[in-house]
Amino acid sequence: MDHFAYVDGTLCAENVPLPEIARSVGTPFYVYSTATLRRHFDVFAEGFAGTDTLIAFAVKSLSNIAVLSLLGKRGAGADIVSGGELFRALKAGIPAERIVFSGVGKTEREIADALDAGIGQFNVEGEAELAVLSRVASEKGMTAPVSFRINPDVDAGTHDKISTGRKGDKFGVPRARTFDAYALAEKLPGIRVQGVAMHIGSQITSLAPFEAAARSAVELVGTLRGMGHDIRTLDLGGGLGIPYGRAAEPPPLPSDYAKLIRSVTDGTDIRVMLEPGRMIVGNAGLFVVSMLYAKDQETRTYAIVDGAMNDLIRPMLYGAHHEIMPVTEKDAAATNYDVAGPVCESTDLFARDVALQDPQPGDLLAFRTAGAYGAVSASQYNTRPLVPEVLVDGDRFHVIRRRPSYEDILSLETIPDLSDH
Ligand code: LLP
């Protein structure tokens, strides 16, 4: 469920017609609905009501500090994967103890910053990282709260590029080395073992892989406790899929996901941690572009729009489908267009055979389900400025990231005084 709907033939974000935003900030832009963000977080959280659960929002999916602040106020923590995301989460007012640091390549500097901030948990991905964490923490006279991310060798049944929990994937500690890793951690200074973590992938559309991973994690917690480790937290990662477009296979309901996790963890007396990203923000965002030109290429007809692969890369990277909707409904026959951007790459193609009703230059088109991994994955390829992000709240909207000027972009660059040959 989201809060984007047609009112008198015009697509609105809550009570704000999208053309009004386009007039104010230009196109392309991302727009998010506060009501949808709140609703999705609350629906997820309600599934775990009455249990000791931390919902650490996966900052990578949508990292604007306005969104982090909104979620933080509702009780969310943050799952971060870089020093930059740590900085954002703290800036947005998320308490450090609710921050979990995931990621397979934490640098010393990032580790030091996270220790200084006093984050709640490091999800350590390997023995070499553990050694660095131990040294940095010891040098500071601090103790790092540690959980190992275990690779459970579960196939999440999702796109190959977003599967993370199979044997041979770069993530986590291989299951076979788990006990040695925990034994090592108990011996190292500056480390306090507190948990087990897993994350098997993203856009997972069936409960079975979650169940397999959770059962294996709970069994592991029991074994580790039996060996004398003080395991208090179980982080089951993120990954719950969402529907992309009408034809898509419906993913499990958050309530069913919660029921499953609760039933598997029931009676373990453990603090459950979850790292949802897409499920909270995916359907809360649209990417809005303007039609530039219709272009007849003999065998195909293109609708060239002003948004491109640098702004929304999911279709090009994962073959992802985003439903494309006209912002203003028309009473005209639809014909098929391939919707493409202006970037000088053939892969800058959002979708083929999109039925559009007589698209004219200046018409606005909205890509649905663009809240997760949209704006955050943008680049400035072709020196196309990052697009603005707008947050709608009832009948008001706020520009939560402005479009940089060309001056802003070039301000990071210098022309050095080079020798003359
Ligand atoms: N926790 C960890 C350790 C992760 O690596 C991820 C996502 C999440 C949580 C959140 O997963 P979610 O609930 O959002 O599925 N760019 C891709 C998705 C990459 C996902 C990376 N990790 C896409 O556009 O589909």
Ligand 1, atom 19: nearest CA belongs to which residue?
A: 162
- By most ligand atoms within 8 Å of CB, the mutation choice from 163, 278, 321 for ligand 1 is 278
Instruction: Report the catalytic residues.
Output: 344
Q: Note the pLDDT of residue 162.
A: 76
Q: How many angstroms separate the Cα of 397 from the Cα of each of 21, 252, 277, 283, 404?
A: 8, 32, 23, 18, 19
What architecture is the 34-279 domain classified under in CATH?
A: Alpha-Beta Barrel (3.20)
- How many whole angstroms from 190 Cα to the centroid of ligand 1? 29
Q: Cβ(61) to ligand 1 under 6 A?
A: yes
pLDDT in tens, the chain (421 residues): 799 999 999 999 999 999 999 999 999 999 999 999 999 999 999 999 999 999 999 999 999 999 999 999 999 999 999 999 999 999 999 999 999 999 999 999 999 999 999 999 999 999 999 999 999 999 999 999 999 999 988 888 878 777 777 788 899 999 999 999 999 999 999 999 999 999 999 999 999 999 999 999 999 999 999 999 999 999 999 999 999 976 667 899 999 999 999 999 999 999 999 999 999 999 999 999 999 999 999 999 999 999 999 999 999 999 999 999 999 999 999 999 999 999 999 999 999 999 999 999 999 999 999 999 999 999 999 999 999 999 999 999 999 999 999 999 999 999 999 998 7
Q: Cβ(147) to ligand 1 under 6 A?
A: no
Beta-carbon neighbour count of residue 309 at 10 Å?
Answer: 24
Q: Note the pLDDT of residue 247.
A: 63
- By most ligand atoms within 8 Å of CB, the mutation choice from 59, 60, 281 for ligand 1 is 60
CATH number of 4-31+283-410: 2.40.37.10
Taking the CA of residue 164 as reference, the ligand 1 atom at the shortest distance is 5
Q: Which two tokens stand for residue 78?
A: 């943050």
- How many whole angstroms from 278 Cα to the centroid of ligand 1? 7
Q: Cβ(47) to ligand 1 under 6 A?
A: no
Taking the CA of residue 81 as reference, the ligand 1 atom at the shortest distance is 3
Q: Which two tokens stand for residue 376?
A: 């955050």
- How many whole angstroms from 184 Cα to the centroid of ligand 1? 29
CA–CA distance, 165 with 151 (Å, rounded to integer): 5
- How many whole angstroms from 328 Cα to the centroid of ligand 1? 33
Fold equal for 4-31+283-410 and 34-279 = no
- How many whole angstroms from 373 Cα to the centroid of ligand 1? 8
Beta-carbon neighbour count of residue 69 at 10 Å?
Answer: 17
CA-angle at 155, arms to 153 and 156, nearest 5°? 125
Cα distance between the two ends of the chain: 63
Q: Cβ(359) to ligand 1 under 6 A?
A: no
* Contact (CB, 8 A) for 30 and 56: no
CA–CA distance, 365 with 351 (Å, rounded to integer): 13
CA-angle at 332, arms to 330 and 337, nearest 5°? 95
Q: Cβ(274) to ligand 1 under 6 A?
A: no
Q: Cβ(146) to ligand 1 under 6 A?
A: no
Q: Cβ(104) to ligand 1 under 6 A?
A: no
E-state strands within 38-133? 53-58, 77-80, 99-101, 121-124
Q: Cβ(149) to ligand 1 under 6 A?
A: no
What is the domain partition of the chain in residue ranges? Answer: 4-31+283-410, 34-279
- By most ligand atoms within 8 Å of CB, the mutation choice from 40, 62, 149, 202 for ligand 1 is 202
- How many whole angstroms from 235 Cα to the centroid of ligand 1? 14
Q: Note the pLDDT of residue 153.
A: 85
Q: Note the pLDDT of residue 417.
A: 94
Q: Cβ(312) to ligand 1 under 6 A?
A: no
- How many whole angstroms from 104 Cα to the centroid of ligand 1? 13
Q: Cβ(381) to ligand 1 under 6 A?
A: no
